[in-house]
Chain A
């Protein structure tokens, strides 16, 4: 399975990673190699096997509906690249 640089550009866009033709070309090569390794999965027949998402066969634990969180806004927003009036600032969101 080889991945083209166009595919890399598309994936990078979905993943919000800036790319350029050179970078896409470079990643296309090593991603293709990795996908070659991944293709080895097809050696094994998995018909009728139930997919396994969790290493344990457990059920979700549910917590009681209680407010436990304190307002730590100032502490958290001290970490932000840009914040004002209690809001996180980002370049304009266009709808």
Chain B
């Protein structure tokens, strides 16, 4: 049977506020355990929540960016369950009326653009952390994270493959960073993904039973976890067995999902409106102010790049997926004399490869846009060839100096003197009688051999265009 995969994602995004959602404790990452766990964070008897305006602002910003309905009146509710990292025994969340209602996000797929529906995005508080190391078989609870503001973004079950899910996830990741509402740091847990995965026979309308996969904390794992889960479900169904609705944990080390024992018991969260918090009512002025502060969004910027710089849609999409990368590109293309397309090729090619390899972020890059612009200008003014430029770039990356310093110290300046090139060409032709004969017999390919020999003799510094021209002239004689 042919199976269709159905995926919906629930993404928890930590909002970049200074203080927690309901208290004045700091949200900074990495502090000593419980040093940022204030009276409200540890749920002392008698303490009360007071809502942070910035968390509301950032949530609205997200809602406006995806063209969603903003609920002028939203309600905080308590989600009741016991867990040691949940100090009150309930999480303050939004249930019936979330701050952000229906919206949509467009993703790129091999079959073209596709719209993924957003069911809702609601504000809630994060839980603390349980640590298990070196504690004599006990768990240690750190409540520094408890109360950090989150929005949970719930998608419609619109994705049909792991690739689409990753594409959606990347799009959202890029968006929240663009908006500056989150640092999106997946290692630190600022951006976390749960996936609801089910399968159904092609053509069937109703959904299959879904499993919720928790704890997927990288783009790569999202793809792997979903693919593993889809295979598992297909095996079950083709075995005449059943998929059970359950929560499963993705284990990256073993690349598998497994049932979560602690969540086995059927949950009954007993949601009800939090009596400590009256409904949150946002007025038009509040929303208008946020609307005005919205930056150019990735999708808008992509369209502009295509139009203004004549880039193809794919490259423009890649460049604009990261606000800092797009900013870098824009500075670069403004500073250099090369065409925007060549600048884009450099940013998406050598630069991105180097970033990936060194595992650093564009924001931490050591080569400024101005420095890279100088290098590209040296191609344009024919001081070096494109090929040599790659060598110079690597040296710049390794901190060996500016483009001009490296070209000078390594003697990489192109040979553009026609006489000099002519004499080398003549020398090579003289040494390659056999190949010259082959060429004259009509074998055009040997031209590559001549070029290779010439470059060898000049250490790659001969201007390739001139070499070609002179070579053809001489051979044509």
A59 touching B34 in the complex, CB below 8 Å, given contacts A84-B140, A87-B141, A91-B139? no
A60 at the interface (CB under 8 A from B): yes
State which of A54, A62, A85, A88 has its C-beta within 8 Å of the C-beta of B52. Answer: A62
- Judged by DSSP, the binding face of B is loop
A69 to B47, CA, bound (A): 13
A84 to B38, CA, bound (A): 18
A63:B51 contact, CB within 8 angstroms: yes
A18 interfacial by beta-carbon distance below 8 Å: no
- Least Cβ–Cβ distance between B298 and chain A, in angstroms: 26
B278 contacts A60, CB within 8 Å? yes
Query: Which chain A residues border B35 with CB–CB below 8 Å?
Result: 71, 73, 86
Q: Which of A39-90 contact B (CB under 8 A)?
A: 53-54, 56, 58-73, 76-77, 82, 84-90
Q: Is the CB of A56 within 8 A of B278?
A: yes
Q: Are B34 and A73 in contact (CB under 8 A)?
A: yes
Residues of B within 8 A of A60 (CB): 51, 76, 277-281
Q: Is A93 an interface residue (CB 8 A)?
A: yes
* A85, B36: Cα distance in complex, Å: 15
B131, CB-defined interface residue at 8 Å: yes
Q: Is A58's CB under 8 angstroms from B278's CB?
A: yes
B111-158 residues with Cβ-Cβ distance < 8 A to A are: 130-132, 135, 137-143
* A38 within 8 Å of B (CB atoms): no
Beta-carbon contact of B24 and A67 below 8 Å: yes
Chain B residues within an 8 Å CB radius of A58: 278
Chain B residues with CB under 8 A of A66: 18-19, 24
| B54 touches A (CB below 8 Å) | yes
A14 contacts the other chain (Cβ, under 8 Å)?
A: yes
Asked if A94 and B51 make an inter-chain contact with CB atoms under 8 angstroms apart, the answer reads no
Q: Is B434 an interface residue (CB 8 A)?
A: no
* Minimum Cβ distance to chain B for residue A90 (Å): 5
Q: A62-B52, A69-B24, A95-B249 are in contact. Are A89 and B273 (CB under 8 A)?
A: no
**Least CB distance, A50 to chain B, in whole angstroms:** 12
Of all chain B residues, the one with the shortest Cβ separation from A80 is: B42
Interface membership of B333, Cβ < 8 A: no
Contact A67 B19 (CB under 8 A): yes
A60-B278, A73-B37 known; A68+B84 contact, CB < 8 A: no
Given contacts A66-B24, A90-B84, A92-B132, contact A14 B268 (CB under 8 A): yes
Interface size on A, residues (CB 8 A): 37
- Whether A59 and B279, one on each chain, are in contact in the complex, defined by CB atoms closer than 8 angstroms, is yes
Contact between A91 and B37 (Cβ–Cβ < 8 Å)? no
Which residues of chain A have C-beta atoms less than 8 A from B444's C-beta?
Answer: none
Which residues of A have CB within 8 Å of B51? 60-63
Chain B residues within 8 Å of A65, by CB: 17-19, 52-55
Q: Which chain A residues lie closer than 8 Å to B76 at the CB level?
A: 60
Set of chain A residues within 8 Å of B54, measured between Cβ atoms:
64-65
Query: Complex formed: what's the CA distance from A82 to B52 in Å?
Result: 32
Given contacts A69-B25, A87-B33, contact A95 B140 (CB under 8 A): no
A54 nearest CB neighbor, chain B only: B278
Alpha-carbon separation in the docked complex, A90 to B83 (Å): 10
The reply to whether A71 and B36 form a contact with Cβ atoms under 8 Å apart is: yes
Residues of A within 8 A of B23 (CB): 69
A13 to B34, CA, bound (A): 29
Q: Which of B26, B32, B33, B281 contacts A69 (CB 8 A)?
A: B26
A29 to B23, CA, bound (A): 42
Give the chain A neighbours of B360 by CB distance below 8 A: none
Contact present for B34 and A86 (CB under 8 Å): yes
> Which B288-326 residues have a C-beta within 8 angstroms of A?
none
Known: A87-B34, A87-B135. A95 touches B260 (CB 8 A): yes
Does B334 lie at the interface of the complex (its beta carbon under 8 Å from any beta carbon of A)?
A: no
Question: Once the chains bind, are B278 and A87 in contact (CB under 8 Å)?
Answer: no
- Asked if B50 contacts A16 (CB within 8 A), the reply is no
Contact partners of A91 in chain B: CB under 8 A: 138-139
Q: How many angstroms from the CA of A84 to the CA of B139 in the assembled complex? A: 10
Mark contacts of B27-51 with chain A using CB atoms, 8 A cut-off: 1 yes-contact digit, 0 otherwise.
0000011111111001010000011
Given contacts A16-B82, A65-B52, A73-B37, contact A92 B278 (CB under 8 A): no
Does B9 touch A at the CB level, under 8 Å?
Answer: no
User: Taking CB as reference atom, which chain A residue is nearest B44?
Assistant: A76
With A59-B281, A88-B34 known as contacts, the answer to whether A67 contacts B139 (CB < 8 A) is no
> Can you pick out 18 interface pairs between chain A and chain B where the beta carbons lie within 8 Å of each other?
A16-B82, A60-B76, A60-B277, A62-B51, A62-B53, A63-B53, A65-B54, A66-B18, A67-B19, A69-B39, A71-B35, A73-B37, A76-B34, A86-B33, A87-B140, A92-B132, A92-B137, A93-B83
A residues neighboring B (CB under 8 Å): 13-14, 16, 53-54, 56, 58-73, 76-77, 82, 84-95
A sample of 6 more A-B contacts (CB under 8 A), given A59-B278, A69-B38, A76-B44, is: A59-B280, A59-B281, A65-B19, A69-B24, A89-B135, A90-B84
CB-CB nearest 3 A-B residue pairs: A87-B140, A68-B24, A65-B54
